Amino acid sequence: MYPFDLFPLSLDLARLGLDAQEVVAERMTKLARGDLAAGIEAVRMVTEKTLALGEANAHLASAAASGKLDRAAPQIVALYRRKVRANRKRLRKR
């Protein structure tokens, strides 16, 4: 991996961080209400995080088994970006 290969990854990480902040703010607002929707969101949040971790581990194991561990980070960041973007889109609707 060359130093310039890290530039797109760092941009993706920055975008992921910004999107994640928005999702956290939306979720905290929802959880602060304390209603049924807040409980559903809390369960969804924990479930999604557990499933995403499993998918990330699968990517990492696959990359390690194929000897392409240097390609795992961009794939995992892309995975989390898709999930965070989907949450951002869903939470913005309301």
The predicted-structure confidence for 35-50, as pLDDT tens digits, reads as follows 999 999 999 999 999 9
pLDDT surpasses 80 at 92:
yes
Mean pLDDT for 19-32 is: 96
Q: Please provide the average confidence, as pLDDT, over all residues in the chain.
A: 93
Q: Tokens 């961009």 map to which residue? A: 74
pTM of the model: 0.85
Mean pLDDT for 3-17 is: 89
* Residue 30 pLDDT grade (very low, low, confident, very high; cuts 50, 70, 90): very high
Tokens of 56: 């990330």
pLDDT surpasses 90 at 1:
no
Mean pLDDT for 55-80 is: 93
- Three-state helix/strand/coil letters over the chain: CCHHHHHHHHHHHHHHHHHHHHHHHHHHHHHHHCCHHHHHHHHHHHHHHHHHHHHHHHHHHHHHHHCCHHHHHHHHHHHHHHHHHHHHHHHHCC
